[in-house]
Amino acid sequence: MSERDLRQALREFISHELLMDETAALDDEQELLLDGTIDSLGATRLVGYIERTWGIEIPPQHVTVDNFSTIATMAGYVERRMIDGSGS
């Protein structure tokens, strides 16, 4: 899966499942944790979604602002984990 597809899948999950608004326009660089787009329950659901969808286990110490603040950083994190199994 290319990084573009990763970003698309994340955008869809966030807009459909977390924002409950399929028409939401999400920018890949938008700070999702700061402006209330993703709340703490949403973050937990997002981590679960990534684990199930891409078959990776995300240890708690990887659930950080660096990895999860934007769609771009999330996609980058998932890609790194799929390539070499390492985190940040």
Q: Site for another protein (CB under 8 A): which residue of 2, 60, 84, 85?
A: 60
Query: Do residues 78 and 58 lie in contact, with contact meaning Cβ atoms separated by under 8 Å?
Result: no
Distance of CA 57 to the CA centre of its chain: 14
Six token digits for residue 46: 């997002």
Q: Site for another protein (CB under 8 A): which residue of 11, 28, 30, 43?
A: 43
> Is position 69 an interface residue for another protein (rule: CB under 8 A)?
yes
Query: Considering only 5-13, 15-23, 48-56, 75-83, which stretch makes contact with another protein by CB under 8 A?
Result: 15-23
Query: Considering only 2-10, 13-21, 48-56, 76-84, which stretch makes contact with another protein by CB under 8 A?
Result: 13-21
Where do runs of H (alpha helix) occur along 31-70? 40-54, 65-68
Spatial distance between the Cα atoms of 78 and 61, rounded to a whole number of angstroms: 15
Number of residues interacting with another protein: please give it, by CB under 8 A: 27
Spatial distance between the Cα atoms of 88 and 86, rounded to a whole number of angstroms: 7
Residues of this chain that bind another protein (CB under 8 A)? 16, 19-23, 31, 33-36, 38-44, 59-65, 68-69
